[in-house]
């Protein structure tokens, strides 16, 4: 190694790297970076779709154009499904109130940006279903950290955590570093933070024992944190873990959407 560095002509490669880093940090490279990021969009989308095909996912049924139509349809489907669920559990008065809250998409006409997934970030060796996804839309398209990401069915699959001019990174709900402000549709409307567990499920812990939670209760976004509106479905309670000698209980939630073969998503902009 010493012999290598004694040969002075190798130092200029390090200088080149340092100049690249400095130019990036001061912003001189931004025009080139933006151009390259935009330039690769169609190619990277196609390559990602080909790679996803090996997972056996039905990627060719979706397109940017059709997603807007599907989103409108799923917004109403989502509201109806949640209303049906809550009808079984709540009084008519509560149901009407919830209907107003959970029909926010229809009532408020939130803007949604459709985006293709162009890569999965594997750097930190996350589990296969918990790898962050990289979208081909960024700051220039109105995205910002904290926005909710939904699939074609209107189910929350993650949230934006980092943005560049023409791309964004989103964590998936099953990722251990992906926290969402959430609420359970049980009698007491338990609120808390949901986070991923082992790349497979979602957990919500530190719930007081007095809260009554049942299997199949629906977990929705609470609207208390980030920029994600209230009422988007995250998952369904699969297991309630409560022991009489514990202060807290926790619940395991199964996501209602398949996360391993996503190709097109929408970002809700409230």
Partner 1 sequence: MSKQIIKYVLLLIGAAILALLQFSFISALPWPFNNFELSLVAIVFSFLLFNKKDSWIIAIALGFFTDLWLFHPYGTAILSLFFTAVVIYLVLENLLTNRSLYSFLLITIIAVLVNTIFTRIFLVIFDWSGANTSHFLTSSLFWGSLMWNLILSLVVVGFIFSVLALLSRRLKPFFLKRR
Closest CB to partner 1 among residues 32, 215: 32
Closest CB to partner 1 among residues 92, 125: 125
Closest CB to partner 1 among residues 38, 236: 38
Q: What one-character DSSP code corresponds to residue 126?
A: -
**Minimum separation from the CB atom of position 173 to partner 1 (A):** 18
| Burial (0-12, 13-18, 19+ Cβ within 10 Å), 116 | buried
**Minimum separation from the CB atom of position 7 to partner 1 (A):** 11
What is the per-residue DSSP string for 15-43?
Answer: HHHHHHHHHHHHTTTHHHHHHHHHHTHHH
**Minimum separation from the CB atom of position 245 to partner 1 (A):** 29
Residues 242, 183: Cα–Cα separation, whole Å: 18
Beta-bridge mates of residue 207: 249
**Minimum separation from the CB atom of position 38 to partner 1 (A):** 12
Q: Sign (positive/negative) of CA torsion 158, 161, 162, 165?
A: positive
Binding site for partner 1 (CB under 8 A): 1, 3-4, 13-14, 16-17, 20-21, 24-25, 33, 36-37, 40, 43-45, 47-52, 54-55, 118-128, 131-132, 134, 162, 164, 167, 169, 177, 260
Closest CB to partner 1 among residues 29, 240: 29
Residues 35, 16: Cα–Cα separation, whole Å: 21
Helix axis angle for 30-39 and 41-53, nearest 10°, is 50
Closest CB to partner 1 among residues 163, 233: 163
**Minimum separation from the CB atom of position 151 to partner 1 (A):** 16
């Amino acid at each position: 190694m010493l012999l290598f560095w004694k040969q002075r002509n190798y130092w200029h490669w390090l200088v080149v790297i340092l100049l690249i880093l400095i130019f990036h940090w001061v912003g001189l490279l931004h025009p080139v970076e933006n151009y390259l990021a935009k330039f690769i969009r169609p190619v990277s989308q196609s390559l990602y779709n080909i790679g996803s095909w090996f997972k056996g996912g039905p990627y060719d049924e979706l397109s940017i154009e059709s997603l807007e139509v599907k989103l409108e349809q799923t917004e109403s489907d989502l509201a109806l499904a949640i209303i049906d669920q809550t009808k079984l559990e709540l009084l008519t008065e509560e149901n009407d109130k919830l209907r107003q809250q959970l029909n926010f998409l229809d009532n408020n006409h939130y803007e949604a940006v459709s985006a293709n997934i162009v890569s999965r970030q594997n750097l930190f060796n996350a589990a296969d279903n918990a790898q962050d996804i990289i979208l081909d839309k960024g700051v220039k398209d109105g995205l910002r950290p904290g926005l909710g990401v939904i699939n074609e069915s209107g189910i929350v699959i993650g949230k934006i955590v980092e943005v560049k001019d023409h791309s964004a990174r989103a964590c998936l709900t099953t990722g251990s570093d992906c926290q969402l402000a959430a609420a359970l549709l049980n009698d007491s409307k338990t609120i808390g933070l949901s986070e991923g567990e082992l790349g497979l499920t979602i957990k919500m812990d530190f719930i007081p024992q007095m809260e009554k939670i049942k299997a199949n209760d629906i977990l929705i976004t609470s609207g208390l944190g980030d920029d994600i509106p209230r009422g988007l479905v995250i998952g369904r309670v699969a297991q309630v873990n409560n022991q009489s000698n514990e202060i807290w209980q926790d619940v395991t939630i199964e996501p209602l959407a398949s996360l391993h073969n996503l190709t097109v998503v929408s970002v809700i902009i409230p």
